[in-house]
Homo-oligomer: A and B are copies of this chain.
Amino acid sequence: MKIAVDAMGGDNAPEQIVKGVAAAREALPDVEFILYGKKDEITKYMDDFRNVQIVHTDEVITMEDEPVRAVRRKKQSSMVLAAQAVKEGNADAIFSAGNTGALLAAGLFVIGRIKGVDRPGMTTTLPSLQGPHDNFTMLDVGANAESKAKNLHDFAILGNFYSANVMHITNPRIALLNNGTEYDKGDRVHKEAYQLLNDDSSLNFVGNVESRELLNGAADVVVTDGFTGNAVLKNTEGTALSMLKLVKDTILNSGVKGKMGGLLLKSAFSQIKDQMDYSKHGGAVLLGVKAPVVKAHGSSNANQVKNALIQVHEIVDSKLVKNLAEYFDMHVKCIQQDEVDKPRENN
């Protein structure tokens, strides 16, 4: 297995990327890592090149670059070269902690979409604090600013497959993020999406879910349009961090000043941070393209890069994309057949 790594993407690149690769190499002896970027900078952080190949390039896509333009013009950038290697079959997957928009564009325009998927969806895994599983999958969290009902239906199919095959959840409960739980809630797109999900007997669709219930494990796959999904993901992060800080400050100011209190809080908060840390499930995955495209947070450290690379390995190992393409193709055919066989029922 070969993983193409954009060694120059991210706030702490190339140091933390290279160190993450070195750590992942110990856990994944069957992987050859191809690192794209400035050779002299990369070699500063690695002196043993076992299972590692470096492809030198000076060009880099920065966080400030306009994504689509950067991918079109910076043909020799570490990210575009890595995507090109995947397209040409020289690598099985691409990993980057760089410019998210540019990675989406590289996935879409260089690697290309799976047949039948109009818009890929950015997919992330968040913690469930209650319910049968300790995490859930949500998509789209921001690949698309505008979505049609058909896109949301595709996200459900992609998410269902990811949850079952990569998160190993049997018969995942699929829900649609909406502004109320009743079937007729939402704008035109969400009402129409509800019908598509409800009519699709291959999905274990459990109905609408409100954003209030997300962390309570209300569903295993939460389907949302990219604009709302992005707002909800960022709001969850922001509110969780604000609450932790508020609680910490309040408790420390209200009497627990002694050594014991401080130690106690430190241990409790480190446990909570671990429980809420969704980077332990890896990065965000662009589902719906012809190869695994995995994005880690720009601020990732070596350990988080390692986790994301282990996730990339699992995705490639499970043949997710190949199976997804077959499943999707078959699924689309079944629906078309259904429509030929019987007129759609009304609710």
Q: Which residues of A contact B (CB under 8 A)?
A: 129, 142, 145-146, 177, 179, 185-188, 190, 210-216, 226-228, 230-232, 234-240, 242-247, 250-251, 254-256, 264-265, 267-269, 271-272, 275-276
Contacts and interface: CB of A to CB of B under 8 A. Distances in A.
Across the A-B interface, give the 10 residue pairs with the lowest CB-CB distance, nearest first: A212-B238, A211-B235, A243-B243, A239-B239, A212-B234, A145-B187, A215-B242, A179-B230, A146-B187, A211-B231
Given A227-B187, A243-B243, A251 B238 contact: no
B237 A212 contact: yes
Contacts of A210: 231, 234, 238
B254 A243 contact: no
Nearest to A243: B243
A268 B243 contact: no
A210 B187 CA distance: 22
Given A210-B234, A211-B231, A228-B228, A242 B254 contact: no
Contacts of A146: 187-188
A239 B215 contact: yes
A166 to B, nearest CB: 25
A129 B268 CA distance: 22
A265 B227 CA distance: 38
A247 B250 contact: no
B268 A251 contact: yes
B245 A129 contact: yes
Contact of A271 (B145, B235, B250): B250
A194 B210 CA distance: 27
Within the oligomer, what is the number of copies of this chain? 2
Contacts of A243: 239-240, 243-244, 247
B142 A231 contact: no
A254 B260 CA distance: 12
A247 B235 contact: no
Contacts of A239: 214-215, 235-236, 239-240, 243
Contacts of A234: 210-212
A322 B242 CA distance: 38
Contacts of A238: 210-216
A218 to B, nearest CB: 10
Contact of A231 (B179, B215, B275): B179
A230 B238 CA distance: 17
B268 A247 contact: yes
Contacts of A187: 145-146, 227
Given A145-B185, A215-B239, 16 more contacts: A129-B245, A142-B179, A145-B186, A190-B227, A210-B238, A212-B234, A212-B235, A212-B237, A213-B238, A215-B242, A235-B239, A239-B239, A243-B243, A250-B268, A251-B268, A254-B264
A102 to B, nearest CB: 14
